[in-house]
Structure 1
């Protein structure tokens, strides 16, 4: 039997830039619309099989993670326990750090119940007793300070640039006992308290 030139016998093989459908032999028309239709159908079938396989693998991996997640439920967050003073804080403008320590503080912002300021304490300078709401510090210039925290006692801190911490409300006073000027950025948060 003679096959016209416009038709050819092709082995479908993707590794050689032609079409493949599970190694079947097909007679494809050359430069014909039906050839394009067959190629599209073959590609769609391959895509469907691929997505079905990916879906099955995804579902299997999701099932695996739920069975092993129970082992990983341990909380690794470190916390410092102590007396919770968050509900005891009462704002007193006379004890505000910006009021008491005005000579050492430069206000950078005061909005949305948050005050941001820079504190600079030279060697030998002391800051009188004052009360902080929730607050955070970020050390810009390090040094050695002595802080007397109400209810805790005297603590000496050797501050390094880049150090920071977050604290709840407290009352304290302090002194620069080192040889260098200490500077930090402080943010005080005045938030409503539960009763």
Structure 2
């Protein structure tokens, strides 16, 4: 299984075949739609003229990278901040995993260790880390012992909470409903505080 998002089929294929593209999509998956976040790695490959390379992005001129992100249509609603974040993640991959995103989840002894590796990346807090862990487990077969427990509620096989649970149009609708409920609850809690 892989991701089945309502985006360009080539973008879905890239996510299925390129671990760095998948990771970049997850980096961008905040304050934009899932479709925007996970289609942007494909758009970035088009702008670069070739596949994504962590070493290249890590060493890219920061202003030039921002220009690639900001070029219409922008890859994110905050192109400057997210270009910097993607570059930080790529630098961490180069330093810790020889530039190979797949090594992030290769040969981990258990789900807790995988979550620790993910949340050590720039911009990955616990929740984002658990979502990415669930995405790897549910859609890409990365299932070290204890991965569901480490993913928390996102590891629930019946859940419709995140991009990890999107398999078709109906599951996408259920995930959107869940996110709207969470936003409404947070807004109500903030109003009462």
TM-score normalised to structure 2 length:
0.22
Instruction: Write 1 or 2 for the structure with the bigger share of helix.
Output: 2
**Could you say which structure has the higher strand fraction?**
1
Please give the TM-score of this superposition, normalised by the length of structure 1: 0.22
